[in-house]
Each structure stands twice: as structure tokens, then as C-alpha cells.
Amino acid sequence: MSTMCLKIQTSHFLIVLFFALLNLGLYMFPNYTNTSKTAPMTTLDRHSNTQCKTTASLQLDRHSNTTNRSCLYLSTSFTGRIGNQMFIYATMVGLARAQNRMPFINTGGDLLTIFPITNIRTDINTTGWSVIGESGYATFDSKFMNLPQRNLTLAGYLQSWRYFLHAQDEIRREFTFVPSIQKEADAVLASCRSQLQNHVIVGVHVRRGDFVLDHKQKFGYGVANASYFVKAFAKIRSLLPNQNITFLVASDNLTWCKDNIKDTSVTFLPERDRGIHFAILSSCDHVILTSGTFGWWIAWLANGISIYFEGYIKKDSPLEAGFTSRDYYPLGWIGLGN
């Protein structure tokens, strides 16, 4: 046999042997898969580095209060009106993101009428979960920054910007107005700007309503007088010299505003749905607020110069017991009194 034929036969034998071994391997290990690729994250896990359980497995252990699960959850429940609910929701998200937890709430409350918030889950039962409460409704509580390693429900008003400063970009996305509200607000502002070209527009929110009632006053709620607006307007003008400024005023008591806020640069917004006022004022260049959390969030979302009423919480009142000004008002906001 020639050398050439021997080489061909040897090559043929090696090829046959290779495929035989390959088939043997597939037969012995039929379920072998390549594990070098990372498995896709579940829907629950889109904001976290922790692999969370699927919805099916959550339903099996939804009553559990142990740490023996793929990730930990943080929930809460709403109390109060829009401004209060926004603080509760923002704090839940902020604390969860800081501690690698998944935030959720069972119901969207009043927020869903204004914002398309996303952290809503109706398939998880929090019965039996530990509840952790605050030491003051508007005082930063450091214990929230190191939560116990188990599923928890937050309780309280949770009114401090310090709980969610690190997650503010996400919070701003969550508090984007639904299209119908934003469209109407944009139309109002576009009309204002077309008539007031090259004007800086300052939103002014005047909260009076139930805060002027005797029992609210005794409890510690303060309201701004006409003198506050004189000071606030003057402060804005000093910060924006040589600027044409228009003050756009919205209130739950428009009659009082027209009788007491006297300035040639003021435009009063007609009474509208609260969501429309909210969207209009928070789209202004800067904001002057008085009392209440609704005005606080208008200023926070506007993200310009913010002037607040220092007398919102009265000194030596029952309401002052849970209030710390530096924890409630963000750095850079300017406080003025009556």
C-alpha cells in the first residue's frame, strides 16, 4: 500500500472516531447548556442587582416574613392627600434603592390620577410583615438607612428630602404628569409666554383652605399674610436683576389672593383641577410656596429658585414636635417670614 493511501485511511479513521466520540457525549449529557452567558433578569429585577423570585414563587411564600428569599421587599401605604402621598412614595423608592430592595405599593392612591407611577403590585400580601415607623413626621430618621434584613412595611408621613436625594432622577420620572394634564398645562404656559415674551415666570402657590380654621391654627399650622408675598417678590427681583418677571398665582382661595396680593406683575390663574394647577406651577421657572406639602412638591419639581414660608409650622406648637426644618426643606431653598 502506498504512503499516500495510508495517510488517507488514517485521516478517515480519525474523522470517524471524532464524530463517534461527539455523539457519545451528546448521548451521555443531553441537557448540557453553555453557562457562560448570564441568564436574563426577571421583570421584578429590572432595577436591582439581586435576582428576585418570579411572580409564581412569590405567591407561594407571600405570607413569609423571613430573609430566606431571593430579594427583600419594601412596601408602604398611603395616608393624607397628594403631597403627603408623594413623600411616602418617594421615600419608599429612595430607601429601597439605597438598600437593594424592591419597592412596591398595593394601590396607586390619588397619585395615579396625576402621575403614571410604576411601583404598584397587587399580587403580594404584606400581612405579617414587620412595620417600621418614624420618630417624627418631618425629621430624618437614620434608622431607615440601615433596615433589618427582612421584608418590611414603612409607616408614617416620611417627609424628608434626605430619604430620596440619591434617587431623585427616578423620582422625577415617576412624577411626570399624565399626558392629558401636561398637555393642558403646556397650553396655559404657552399662552402666557406668547403674551409675556422674555419674561421669567414664577409660580406662586398659596395654601389657605383648612389651615385657617381654629383647630388647625391651635395645632400649629401657619398661613402666610400679605406681607410675606411683598418680601418674597422683592427677594426674587433681587436674585434676578434686570429681568422681566411675572408671578403666576394659584390658590385654593382665589378671592383672598386678589384682595391681598397687590403687585402689577401678578397674574391669577382661574380655578382649575388641582392636577392642572400642579403641572402649571411646577413647569414655571421658579416657585414661591407658602404652607403644605402640595406647594413643597411644586417647588421640588420646578427645580429652580424656591422661596418658602418659614411660619408654616408654628413655634412651640404640637405640630412642631415632629418637624425639623433642615430635614424638610432642601439645601438652597430660601425661607422668609410674614
Q: What is the mean pLDDT of residues 277-302?
A: 98
Which residues are registered as beta bridge partners of 313? 221
pLDDT-derived band of residue 254, with 50, 70 and 90 as boundaries?
very high
- Residues 98, 79, 300, 274: is their CA dihedral positive or negative? positive
Instruction: Indicate the range of 43-47, 184-188, 238-242, 263-267 predicted with least confidence.
Output: 43-47
In tens, the pLDDT along 135-147 reads 999 999 999 999 9
Q: Report the half-sphere exposure of 203 (CA within 13 A, side-chain side).
A: 33
d(CA 224, CA 213): 14
What pLDDT shows up at residue 70? 72
What pLDDT shows up at residue 69? 55
DSSP 205-236: EE--GGGGSHHHHHHTB----HHHHHHHHHHH
Q: Residue 8: is its pLDDT beyond 80?
A: no
Asked if 93 contacts 164 with a C-beta cutoff of 8 angstroms, the reply is yes
What mean pLDDT is reported for the chain? 84
Q: Residue 49: is its pLDDT beyond 90?
A: no
pLDDT-derived band of residue 197, with 50, 70 and 90 as boundaries?
confident
In tens, the pLDDT along 88-127 reads 999 999 999 999 999 999 998 899 999 999 999 999 999 9
DSSP E strands, 120-186:
130-133, 152-155
d(CA 82, CA 112): 10
State the DSSP code for 221. B
Q: Residue 58: is its pLDDT beyond 70?
A: no
Q: Residue 291: is its pLDDT beyond 80?
A: yes
Q: Residue 248: is its pLDDT beyond 80?
A: yes
Of 9-13, 142-146, 194-198, the range with the highest mean pLDDT is 142-146
Q: What percentage of the chain has pLDDT greater than the value 90?
A: 75
Q: What is the mean pLDDT of residues 46-51?
A: 36
Q: What is the mean pLDDT of residues 300-322?
A: 97
Q: Residue 7: is its pLDDT beyond 80?
A: no
More confident residue, 41 or 91: 91
pLDDT-derived band of residue 22, with 50, 70 and 90 as boundaries?
very low
Scanning the structure block, which residue is given the C-alpha cell 389651615? 211
